[in-house]
Amino acid sequence: MAGLWCTALGYGNEELVEAAAAQMRKLPFSHLFTGKSHDPAIELAERLKEIAPVPTSKVFFCSSGSEANDTQVKLVWYMNNALGRPKKKKIISRIKAYHGVTVAAASLTGLPNNHRDFDLPIAGILHAGCPHHYRFAQDGESEAEFARRLATELEALIQREGPDTVAAFIAEPVMGAGGVIVPPQGYFPEVTAVCRKYDVYMISDEVICGFGRLGTMFGCSALGFAPDSISVAKALTSAYVPLSAVTVPEPMYQAQLDESRKIGVFAHGTTYAGHPVAAAVALKALEIYARERIAEQAARKAPQFQARLAALAAHPLVGEARGFGLVGGLELVADKRSKRSFDAKAGVGPRVVRCAEEEGLIVRFIAGDILSICPPLIITPAEIDELFDRLGRALDRAWDWVRPERLA
């Protein structure tokens, strides 16, 4: 699982360790408040501007994916106040999205357990349909028809709410913690057209998909869309130290300048944001990604990974095997034909995870009996085979355990 979808370079990268140690000796802390900055943050911002898949004027640093997405929401609100459109504040996310757990990010997250008893979502956060063909397409609906319907429904939602009240749309290119959901063909181009039509700011949450996971440096490029901004975290430092970032386009930056001149200060930021040690590690990680052509390598290994994953669809426990690049998901079902899920209380997902652990393999279980597989990007072809050999054996063991219960 590359930890939590994050240790892109594995666990023993001495270059990253050295970069952290050297920076600790040189300047262990400095902040980015009141016009101050430091070399690693400046260099990292410049580097991110060079490689970002979107026009970027500035980079705003935070320490986690959740903070990055909370920042996205606040920056959009701030911008629209500056632009004199104070009603344009609603943010559209999607059912089954995962954007984090802080108050705004958890509201964007489209999973009931992240809302329940936390009094979330907050007002002004809307959830559009989930682009999962296997679960939500109508009978006989092709991927293209499903994509078009989702875009039409998004447009209807914007019209219903009032386009002058809808500020932004946020999406993961491939949904991660919601169940490794790959959108249908044509989905993002269709949805982007709707966002453009209503001047809805588009945010790609690249916290999992950024830095090579889908075989391109950023997930939006793999899925064929160009957002206004991206959120990155996790593989930004290969997770060796916490760091996240949000890209800020020039028009948004100008609006921030105008508004903060009125107020006298731009009052958003956290103590550890852009921490010099984290920024130094990120710079080294980005250097390694470029030097080792990590995204291209991931693209080269993806066909083998996806073929081995797809072969598991034949297993009696698996309803759907899906994935993109070097990330995959297996949805376990009690009945393949009707796609009926197991009763959560039966604990089939956790059982497969345990069987995998007995095989020496770490996979993650996501509610809805979905197993996620997300190895470090440095995985070798031989290790990909080993991974799926072990996973196959784990599924067989779990099947032996499940079968009597199902027959009972």
Ligand X SMILES: Cc1ncc(COP(=O)(O)O)c(C=O)c1O
Binding interface with ligand X (CB under 6 A): 4, 64-66, 69, 98-100, 172, 176-177, 205, 207-208, 233
What the block records as the tokens of 264 is: 């006298």
Strand partners, 175: 181
278 contacts 241 by C-beta, under 8 angstroms: yes
CA dist 385 and 304 (Å) reads: 8
Residue whose CB is less far from ligand X, 100 or 184: 100
**Whose Cβ is closer to ligand X: residue 166's or residue 177's?**
177
Complex with ligand X: residue 333 or 374, whichever CB lies closer: 374
233 vs 309, which CB is nearer to ligand X?
Answer: 233
**Tokens standing for residue 319:** 């309803």
CB 408, min distance to ligand X, A: 37
Q: Distances from the Cα of 119 to the Cαs of 103, 115, 283, in angstroms? A: 10, 6, 39
Of 98 and 169, which CB lies nearer to ligand X in the complex structure? Answer: 98
3-state secondary structure of 51: helix
Q: In angstroms, rounded to a whole number, what is the distance separating the alpha carbons of residues 272 and 340?
A: 46
For residues 67 and 359, which CB has a smaller minimum distance to ligand X in the complex? 67
Q: Least Å distance between CB 101 and ligand X?
A: 6
User: Encoding tokens for residue 250?
Assistant: 């020039």
The least distance separating ligand X from the CB of residue 226, rounded to whole angstroms, comes to 19
CB of 26 to ligand X, least distance (A): 26
Q: Shortest approach of ligand X to residue 67 CB, angstroms?
A: 7
> Least distance from C-beta 386 to ligand X, angstroms?
26
Q: Hunting for tokens 């072969």 — which residue is that?
A: 311
Name the token pair of 317.
């426990």
* Other beta carbons less than 10 A from residue 397's beta carbon: 17
Distance, CA of 395 to CA of 408 (rounded, Å): 20
Query: Are the C-beta atoms of 138 and 127 separated by less than 8 Å?
Result: no
Least separation in angstroms between CB 68 and ligand X: 7
Which is nearer to ligand X, 179 or 308 (by Cβ)?
Answer: 179
Cα atoms found within 13 Å of the Cα of residue 273, Cβ hemisphere only: 20
Sheet containing strand 201-205, strands side by side: 58-62, 244-248, 229-232, 201-205, 166-171, 90-94, 125-128
β-bridge pairing 166-171 and 125-128: unpaired
> Measuring CA to CA, which residue among 227, 187, 233 is closest to residue 70?
233
Nearer to ligand X, 318 or 377 (CB): 377
Q: Which residue has the CB atom at the shortest distance from ligand X?
A: 65
Q: What is the closest distance, in whole angstroms, from the C-beta atom of residue 178 to ligand X in the complex?
A: 9
